[in-house]
Structure 1
Amino acid sequence: MKVRERLRMFAILALILCNIGCDQISKGIVRERVGYHENFKILTDKFTLMKVENTGAFLSVGSSLPYFIKVLLLSLLPVIVICYALFLLISKKNIPILIVLGLAFVIGGGTGNLYDRIRYGSVTDFLHIDFGLFQTGVFNMADVSIMIGMLMILIGLSNSKTSALMKV
Structure 2
Amino acid sequence: MKIIFDKQKCLPFTLTALIILADQLVKGFIVKNWPGEGTFIKDLFSNGLVQFWHVRNRAIAFSLGHNLPESLRPALFVVLPIVVLGFLLWYYFKSPDFRTPQRWAVAGIIGGGAGNIIDRIFRPEGVVDFVSVKFFGLLGMERWPTFNIADASVVVCCIVLLVTILISPKEVHNEQEN
TM class, shorter-length: 0.7 to 0.9
| In the alignment, structure 1 residue 142 sits paired with structure 2 residue 144 | no
Q: What displacement does 1:132 show? A: 2.4
Whichever residue aligns with residue 61 of structure 1, its letter is L
d(CA) in 2 for partners of 1:9 and 1:100? 7
> 1:61 offset after TM fit, Å?
1.2
Is 134-143 or 107-116 further displaced after alignment?
Answer: 134-143
- Which 10-residue stretch deviates more, 140-149 or 87-96? 87-96
Distance in 1 (alpha carbons) for counterparts of 2:16 and 2:96: 17
Q: Deviations over 1:12-67 (max 9, x none)?
A: 22111011111111101111112421212112221111111111001211122012
- Provide the residue aligned with 2:162 in structure 1: 154
Q: Give unmatched runs, 5+ long, in structure 2.
A: 174-178
Mapping of 1:7-46 within 5 angstroms?
A: 7-35=7-35, 36-39=37-40, 40-44=42-46, 45-46=48-49
Aligned equivalents of 1:118, 1:65: Cα separation in 2? 17
Of residues 113, 130, 137, the one that matches 2:134 is 130
SS in 1 for 2:12: helix
Overall identity of the aligned pairs, in %: 24
Q: Tell me whether 1:68 sits opposite 2:76 in the alignment.
A: no
Q: Distance in 2 between matches of 1:125 and 1:15?
A: 21
How many residues are treated as equivalent by the alignment?
160
Query: What amino acid maps onto 1:108 in structure 2?
Result: G
Whether the aligned pair in 2 keeps the contact of 1:101 and 1:152 (CA below 8 Å) is no
The alpha-carbon distance between structure 1 residues 161 and 77, as it changes in their structure 2 partners (threshold 3 A), is farther
Name stretches of at least 5 consecutive residues in structure 1 with no aligned partner.
Answer: none
Aligned CA distance change for structure 1 residues 131 and 100 (closer, same or farther; 3 Å): same
Alignment of 1:82-97 (within 5 A): 82-97=85-100
- 1:102·1:150 contact (CA, 8 Å) conserved in 2? yes
> Aligned partner of 1:73: which letter?
L
Q: 1:111 matched to which residue of 2? A: 114
Contact 2:129 2:147 in 1 (8 A): yes
CA distance in 2, matches of 1:90, 1:81: 14
Determine which structure has more spread, i.e. the larger CA radius of gyration: 2
TM-score (norm 2): 0.81
- Partner SS state of residue 11, structure 2: helix
In the TM superposition, residue 131 of structure 1 has moved relative to its aligned partner by 4.2
User: Which has the larger helix fraction?
Assistant: 1
Q: Distance in 2 between matches of 1:131 and 1:90?
A: 38
- Over the aligned positions, Cα root-mean-square deviation in angstroms equals 2.1
Counterpart amino acid of residue 103 in structure 1: V
The letter for the 2-side match of 1:129 is: V
